[in-house]
Amino acid sequence: MRSRVSDSESEGTGSFEFDSVVIGGGAAGLTASGICANFGAKTMMIEKHKLGGDCTWTGCVPSKVLLKAGKVAQQVRDAGKYGLIDGEPKIDFKKVIKHVDDIRKEVYEDADRPEIFEDMGIVVVEGEASFLNAHTIEIKLPDGEKRKVTSRFFFIAAGGSAFVPPIEGIDTVDYLTNDSLFEVEDLPEELLIIGGGPIGTEMSQAFTNLGSKVTVIDMAEEIMMNDDPELTDILFEELKRQGVNYELGASVKSVSQNNGKVSVHIEVDGKEKTVAGDKLLMATGRKPNLAGLGLDEAGVEYTKKGITINNSCRTNKKNIYAIGDIASKYQFTHMSEHMAKIATSRAMLKIPMKMDLKHITWATFTSPEIAHVGATEKELNEKGEKFEVYRFPYSKIDRAITEGESVGMIKIFAKKFSGKILGASVVGAHAGEFISEYAVAMKNGVSLRNIADTIHPYPSWGLGARRAADQWYIRNQSAGTVKWIKRIFGYKGEIPDYSDPDRVV
């Protein structure tokens, strides 16, 4: 076996043990492995922990289960708004965490366990992979043995992990991250969260609803800085109403721990203060898992932000692709799957597919949810784009009213005359589902007029999407148009008042 195979040498000589090797068994790796196998490629997938990755074990799945438990507890407290009797839920947190673990295992057994992929013909290996050169890796197995493997193509899907900034005293504190949060067996009485992004915001609500006193600390003046500020204000007020406490615009100076209590020393408006609790969650972002991969030996370019790729997810080495959190600023499970599809299609079939960066969606699953697709209002304004903003409140969606979830807003950015959708943001119940409809519309050139003309069932949540699209028709009416119609048909009614450009009908 040759120790090195140059990029210029033929990839079709049959000199490689595998056609494709996937490093990492999270969302990106599982998707890539399955696609490669379905293309008839001899495929190996390597994972050093459990298949399923962050999403199944420490991210999407457990966090949503915990959020649901908290939401049910809050519904018991708010039962009066449904004509029932308000009550205080009895919470056994150990049972809640066991339920979280049971659901993780259920998802794993149904979708992630090795046998599923082995049945596809994929060789699944537990171990740590490191490149020796662009076509060869060395796998360190659990028993300490090492195995060399060569492959025609590699897909690096090693994911990301919690980033903890170098705050003074952080090494002396028993802090939590999303990697350890769902292993806690006792409900914190007072939970401090540094970070007001999606993870911090979701967990602040979950633990508040389950009975913890929660304080969120962030250096920004607002939470959820990547979302529409008009809509995050709605979410912010609702979270405060539910009991979440905030220290925003706060500079964290240091942290300390004494007698089981954690203290976060902050400065707000030039004044120093200390916030104390029994647990500290660091929700301060993510970092790519670059260490130990041997990227330098393979000649793969990278920065501290991740592996450098083009729009087809290919690195500077033509046979090596990087997908998922290790190579993307959009660290979402659905983006990882999208990248896996692009990379495998490009590598294995030579189809020149590229990432769809114009229609990226995201959602944060608080109550109310907040979600987005496409360009933001800020981005459109910075580009000098001409567009209209169409708003539709949840208080006018009959289904939202009947279910007692009328807090929310649909906000669409679109062209005035064509109704072409440039972006959309939603805060409210089922916001992720609303955004999915707008994502399909944007991807396929469906305008607001097309949505408005499409029959939606009443009283569905989805009807709200059509009602919001109706506003395009309303906005394009004018007193002059109505006068013209009256004159032609001899109508005798009043001309509506069109003086308010933001009126909602």
CATH number, position 344: 3.50.50.60
pLDDT at 8 exceeding the cut of 90: no
Q: Are residues 27 and 156 in the same domain?
A: yes
305, 288 contact by CB (below 8 A)? yes
Provide the strand spans (E) within 353-474: 361-364, 369-374, 388-393, 409-414, 421-428
CATH number for the domain spanning 424: value is 3.30.390.30
pLDDT tens-place string over residues 371-393: 999 999 999 999 999 999 999 99
Mean pLDDT over the full length of the chain: 95
Query: Residue 60: inside a domain, yes or no?
Result: no
Instruction: Please compute the mean of the pLDDT values over residues 487-493 and round it to a whole number.
Output: 93
Using alpha carbons only, give the angle 30, 36, 42 rounded to the nearest 5 degrees: 110
Query: Residue 56: inside a domain, yes or no?
Result: no
**Percentage of the residues of the chain whose pLDDT score is greater than 70:** 97
Q: Are residues 22 and 157 in the same domain?
A: yes
| Domain containing residue 26 | 18-51+113-161+287-349
Distance in Å from the first CA to the final CA of the chain:
72
How many angstroms separate the CA atoms of 85 and 77, rounded? 9
Output the pLDDT for position 385: 97
Query: Residue 12: inside a domain, yes or no?
Result: no
Domain count, the chain: 3
pLDDT tens-place string over residues 335-357: 999 999 999 999 999 999 999 99
Return the amino acid letter for 443.
K
Closest to 34 in 3D by CA, of 318, 319, 343 = 343
The last residue of a domain, from among 257, 284, 311: 284
324, 307 contact by CB (below 8 A)? no
Confidence (pTM): 0.93
Q: Are residues 157 and 296 in the same domain?
A: yes
Query: Residue 336: inside a domain, yes or no?
Result: yes
Instruction: Please compute the mean of the pLDDT values over residues 96-103 and round it to a whole number.
Output: 98
Q: Are residues 258 and 335 in the same domain?
A: no
Q: Are residues 26 and 155 in the same domain?
A: yes
**Percentage of the residues of the chain whose pLDDT score is greater than 90:** 92
Output the pLDDT for position 14: 59
Q: Are residues 30 and 142 in the same domain?
A: yes
Q: Are residues 379 and 441 in the same domain?
A: yes
Q: Is 55 or 500 the better-scoring residue by pLDDT?
A: 55
Distances from the Cα of 181 to the Cαs of 67, 96, 279, 281, 365, in angstroms? 13, 13, 10, 8, 17
Query: Residue 97: inside a domain, yes or no?
Result: no
pLDDT tens-place string over residues 396-409: 999 999 999 999 99
Q: Are residues 38 and 156 in the same domain?
A: yes
Tell me the helices (H) and strands (E) count for the chain, helix number first.
16, 23
176, 66 contact by CB (below 8 A)? no
Closest to 173 in 3D by CA, of 267, 81, 264 = 264
The last residue of a domain, from among 263, 284, 305: 284
Q: Are residues 370 and 429 in the same domain?
A: yes
Query: Residue 417: inside a domain, yes or no?
Result: yes
Closest to 324 in 3D by CA, of 338, 310, 344 = 338
Output the pLDDT for position 7: 39
The last residue of a domain, from among 349, 372, 392: 349
90: Cβ contacts below 8 Å, ≥ 6 apart: none
Query: Residue 80: inside a domain, yes or no?
Result: no
348, 39 contact by CB (below 8 A)? yes
Query: Residue 153: inside a domain, yes or no?
Result: yes
Q: Are residues 194 and 274 in the same domain?
A: yes
Closest to 252 in 3D by CA, of 179, 177, 196 = 196
How many angstroms separate the CA atoms of 344 and 355, rounded? 12
pLDDT tens-place string over residues 307-342: 999 999 999 999 999 999 999 889 999 999 999 999
Structure tokens at 498: 């069109």
Q: Are residues 370 and 340 in the same domain?
A: no
Phi and psi angles of residue 404, each rounded to the nearest 5 degrees, phi first: 70, 30
pLDDT tens-place string over residues 10-58: 344 459 999 999 999 999 999 999 999 999 999 999 999 999 999 999 9
Q: Are residues 153 and 45 in the same domain?
A: yes
* DSSP code string of 287-320: EE--TTS-HHHHT--EETTEE---TTSB-SSTTE
